[in-house]
C-alpha cells in the first residue's frame, strides 16, 4: 500500500535580492515526506536549512515551485489562509523554546487549540494529556522560568503535537540542551512519532541523532541529496 504524502515540494527556488545581486538559497529543490516518516536535514551553517523549513511551513513563500501539505498547495494561499492551515496541520519546534513566560506549561500548550476555536476546558484537557505523555504531568502549572531547559523543550514539543498535526518541523530542537537532556528529547520524539504517526522534518547538526531517523538529506548548494538512511 502506498504511503500518504504529507509534504511534497516540487522545484522550489528561493532567492533574496541584496541590492543589484540575487542570492539564490534553494535551487530547484524537490522533497517528499510520507505519513509517519522521520527526516533529517543536515548541512553546513548558512546552507539554507532554516529557510527550507520556513518555506515548508508556509512562513515564507518560494519564488518558484510549489509546496503541498496534505495535498493542498500552501504557496498560493493568502496570509490568513496559511495561518489557519499551519495551526491545523503543522507543528513547530525551535532550538529556543519560544514559550510565553507569563503563562503556565498547560496554558502554553493549550494556546494552539484556543486559537483554533476550541473551548478552554477542552484545550486544557488536551494540554494536560499531551503533557502527561511527555512526562510533565506534575509540572502543568509551572511557568517556563520554573522549568529546566529539558522540561521547557518538552513543553515546546507538547505544544507542537497538541493539535495532532500531519507534520512537525524542528529546527535544532536539541541544539541548546546538554547531552543528557538532548538524548531524552530525541528518544521522546522517536516514541511520539510512532504513537501519533506524525511526520517529522528535523534540521540538526547532530550526526548521531540524524542516523536514528528514517532518511537523512544534505542541503548543499541549494539542492537536497540523500546521504544515508537509518
State pLDDT tens for residues 143-188: 999 998 888 888 988 888 888 888 889 888 777 777 777 777 777 7
Q: What Cα–Cα distance (Å) separates residue 95 from each residue in 170, 175, 203, 205, 210? A: 8, 6, 10, 11, 16
Mean pLDDT, the chain, whole residue set: 84
**Domains of the chain, earliest start first:** 5-228 (3.40.50.300)
Cβ(90)–Cβ(141) under 8 Å? no
Grid cell of 81 as nine digits:
489562509
Global pTM reads 0.85
CA 23 to chain centre: 25
Say what the pLDDT of residue 113 is: 87
Amino acid at each position: 500500500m502506498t504511503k500518504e504524502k504529507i509534504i511534497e515540494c516540487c522545484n522550489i527556488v528561493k532567492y533574496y535580492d541584496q541590492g543589484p545581486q540575487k542570492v539564490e538559497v534553494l535551487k530547484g529543490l524537490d522533497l517528499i515526506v510520507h505519513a509517519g516518516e522521520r527526516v533529517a536535514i543536515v548541512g553546513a551553517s548558512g546552507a539554507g536549512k532554516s529557510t527550507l523549513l520556513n518555506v515548508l511551513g508556509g512562513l515564507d513563500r518560494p519564488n518558484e515551485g510549489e509546496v503541498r501539505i496534505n495535498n493542498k498547495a500552501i504557496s498560493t494561499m493568502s496570509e490568513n489562509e496559511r495561518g489557519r492551515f499551519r495551526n491545523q496541520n503543522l507543528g513547530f519546534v525551535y532550538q529556543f523554546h519560544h514559550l510565553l513566560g507569563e503563562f503556565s506549561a498547560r496554558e502554553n500548550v493549550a494556546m494552539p487549540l484556543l486559537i483554533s476555536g476550541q473551548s478552554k476546558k477542552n484545550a486544557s484537557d488536551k494540554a494536560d494529556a499531551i503533557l502527561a505523555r511527555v512526562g510533565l504531568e506534575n509540572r502543568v502549572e509551572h511557568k517556563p522560568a520554573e522549568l529546566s531547559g529539558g522540561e521547557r523543550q518538552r513543553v515546546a514539543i507538547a505544544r507542537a503535537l497538541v493539535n495532532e498535526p500531519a507534520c512537525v518541523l524542528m529546527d535544532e530542537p536539541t541544539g541548546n540542551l546538554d547531552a543528557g537532556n538532548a538524548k531524552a528529547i530525541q528518544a521522546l520524539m522517536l516514541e511520539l512519532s510512532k504513537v501519533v504517526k506524525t511526520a517529522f522534518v528535523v534540521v540538526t547538526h547532530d550526526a548521531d541523532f540524524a542516523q536514528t531517523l528514517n532518511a537523512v538529506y544534505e542541503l548543499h548548494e541549494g539542492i537536497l541529496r540523500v546521504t544515508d538512511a537509518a
